[in-house]
């Protein structure tokens, strides 16, 4: 097993309180990322979240965007169970326990969210393939938002080992690949997106991050 599939072990084993404390350490618990993009998300329509975790983003959307239909895609059976229970009486939310690498959706989306480093869970070769897949889920003028940590600018080298990051945890290792700005530009153009803007920001715990806004 390699790439994205090798990270399943962690997401199926990590206790919910540990996952939540990682969110807090990252400075995402107050949803600064979503606050930054809120004005770009249409007031109604269909929103897909890739890798919905325990529902941090879905909770924000429900609180702030009452009109949207939300499709929460999550590969982990453990986390999907949490989501299904949490939103069982919420008609605006559909939870799908599926792998985004193979999922097909019948209806096109206005917005796809891939936040809090979700993209990093995929290997270098997988990232552009998934981006193309997400492009195919979007309507004309649909938008994809991707949040990743900032990588110090590459100079002469096209690639640095700093892009391969392994996080060792008692619940299994997470193997990640951190794309550079150039990688993101290449993926976006190969998938047929225009890279509309990049928002650089610091989380509440001073982590330096970037949100890429891509439009069909």
Ligand X SMILES: C[S@@+](CC[C@H](N)C(=O)[O-])C[C@H]1O[C@@H](n2cnc3c(N)ncnc32)[C@H](O)[C@@H]1O
Q: Is 76 one of the binding residues for ligand X (CB under 6 A)?
A: yes
CB of 53 to ligand X, least distance (A): 3
**Stretch in the footprint of ligand X (CB under 6 A) among 39-47, 73-81, 164-172, 177-185:** 73-81
Q: Tell me the β-bridge partners of 194.
A: 215
The Cα–Cα gap between 106 and 150 comes to 34
Q: Which is nearer to ligand X, 117 or 203 (CB)?
A: 117
Nearer to ligand X, 95 or 100 (CB): 100
**Measured from the CB atom, is 110 or 121 closer to ligand X?**
121
Q: For residue 104, give both structure tokens.
A: 């097909």
Q: What is the nearest approach in angstroms of ligand X to the Cβ of residue 71? A: 12
**For residues 195 and 214, is the Cβ–Cβ distance under 8 A?**
yes
Q: Is 104 exposed, middle or buried (0-12, 13-18, 19+ CB in 10 A)?
A: exposed
Q: Where are the alpha helices (DSSP H) in the chain?
A: 3-6, 8-13, 16-26, 32-37, 56-64, 77-86, 126-137, 181-191
Site for ligand X in 107-166 (CB under 6 A): 115-118, 121
Chain positions contacting ligand X, by CB under 6 A: 4, 11, 23, 49, 51-53, 56-57, 73-76, 79, 99-101, 115-118, 121
């Amino acid at each position: 097993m390699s790439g994205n599939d090798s990270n399943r072990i962690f997401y199926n084993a990590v206790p919910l309180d540990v996952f939540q404390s990682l969110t807090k350490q990252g400075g995402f618990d107050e949803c600064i990322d979503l606050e930054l993009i809120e004005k770009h998300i249409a007031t109604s329509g269909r929103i897909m979240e890739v890798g919905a975790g325990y529902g941090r983003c879905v909770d924000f959307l429900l609180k702030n965007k009452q009109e949207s239909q939300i499709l929460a895609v999550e590969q982990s059976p453990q986390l999907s169970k949490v989501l299904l229970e949490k939103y069982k009486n919420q008609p605006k939310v559909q939870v799908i326990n599926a792998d985004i690498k193979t999922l097909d959706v019948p209806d096109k989306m206005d917005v796809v969210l891939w936040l809090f480093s979700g993209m990093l869970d995929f290997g270098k070769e997988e990232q552009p393939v998934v981006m193309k897949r997400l492009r195919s889920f979007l309507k004309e003028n649909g938008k994809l938002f991707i949040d990743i940590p900032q990588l110090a600018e590459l100079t002469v080298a096209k690639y640095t080992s700093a892009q391969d990051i392994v996080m060792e945890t008692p619940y299994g290792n997470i193997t990640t690949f951190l794309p550079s700005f150039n990688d993101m530009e290449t993926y976006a153009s190969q998938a047929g997106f225009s890279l509309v803007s990049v928002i650089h920001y610091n989380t509440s715990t001073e982590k330096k991050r970037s949100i890429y806004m891509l439009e069909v």
